[in-house]
Structure 1
Amino acid sequence: MDAGFEAHLRAGEVEFDASDAALLRAVDDEESLNRAADALGRSYSRAHKRLTALEDALGPLVVRQRGGSGGGGSRLTDEARDLLARFERLRAEFTGTAEVEETVFDGEVVARDGELATVETPAGRVRALAPPVESEVEESPDADPETVQVAVRADAVTLHAPDDAPAAAATSARNRFSGTVAAIDAGEEVARLLVDVDADATLAALVTMSSVEKLGLDEESAVVASFKATATRASPRE
């Protein structure tokens, strides 16, 4: 089980995400599941199967009318409109927080591979996107170590329970730190967590409140934090 940034609402094993919200909005606009699927470039069978799975977990979302003088069609239930409103509040809260939240670690570049650099930080090694350095500095054996600052966005961090963390080779999020939750700032739908990773800075992460509850997170909970190299930036330290 993991907790990541991408906005979603969870009901049991089913997650309601942006793709599902788009399907409900299309049904509302087109007044037909068939036309909604066409508008989204999805097959009717795929859209119907997904809607059935959502309704099994969340209750009635679409009322279907067959034939009649109006030719039939579909409309959203009040529960579906409440669900969409809750999802939009969740996404807005995520977006507003994520725009400014990041953790910065100091480090030294120990290797480069194209646009990616491997940086040694107090918390461990991090792969990050990094601008190229001038060739004469890079090739000089007497040059000082290249010092950088590594910025990690809170929305890019995924938290795992230690026993459920996937192997590094099994995920594209190769950067990972083990740590403990130092603080939880809970909102209505989103929580901001600070994770102690034995560095000068605590690692900030954004997760849904449902994920906090699902993972049973509280202060001093052990977690594994992972994040992708492409969501991490290394820049020269001033």
Structure 2
Amino acid sequence: MSKSDSPIKLEGLSKARGKRWDHLELLERIDASGSISSAATAMGMSYKAAWQAVEAINNLSHEAVLIRQPGGSTGGGTCLTEYGRRMVATYRRLEQEWAAVPAALGRTMDDFDQYYTMSRRFDMQTSARNQFLGTVTAVKMGAVNAEIILDIGRGEELAAIITNDSAEHLALEVGSEAYALVKAQWIILAVGDDIKTSARNRLTGTVVRCQEGAVNAEVVIELPGGKTVASIITNESVKVLGLKEGVRASALIKASHIILAVAS
């Protein structure tokens, strides 16, 4: 990192510092207690808010930050991965060096550029419940629309259909980084392996949370590797599909229902 880069990057860090520091404390408390519930209680957060924060952190990271531990006599739990611990340690070092920036920062923080880039991902504000960071692996231009293939990591891909103008405006090309945003209401859930559908995308995993409301329910599916996808469906659909924790299910997403975004 060059000295000339530091003022710009530090300005961005300062603006987002408060929210990200809450994320760091949550991660630290989860790692110390092995429980999201205990960490949320200690911070005065709701269990749901803590889980949503955890899911967002994992989905916006190229590597898993937290992992679930199998249940047993103690009921299992959640802990940080080695990558997650390094990320937290990097930001805590940043706190300690804050008074000495920018000169000391470049000398003492080998991981700064990598984790600063990740920190900026938490600054994006959107109403879309599902946010995935990925790398463009293919761009196929048509007469009007373009098909963009996004590798979101851990063996999962998403295909999005956007206009050619949008693809050009976002400067999407193979190797570029982009976000896939999907509203929970746009995701169709299905069970069973013999499924025929016109939906271009299918993400299969295990139901880890199923919370019913007055009319609708939020169902969260954990994909292999730790990423999650949340869907809003009716309570009746939950009953018909037999959805509950531990059930294998698929999230079906039309390519036209995926919104792509890039960092400015």
Q: TM-score if structure 1 supplies the norm length?
A: 0.49
Looking at both structures, which has the greater relative contact order when contacts are Cα pairs under 8 Å and sequence separation is at least 6? 1
| Greater share of residues in helix | 2
- TM-score for both structures, normalised by structure 2: 0.45
Query: Which structure has greater strand proportion?
Result: 1
Work out which of the two has the higher radius of gyration on C-alpha atoms and give 1 or 2: 1
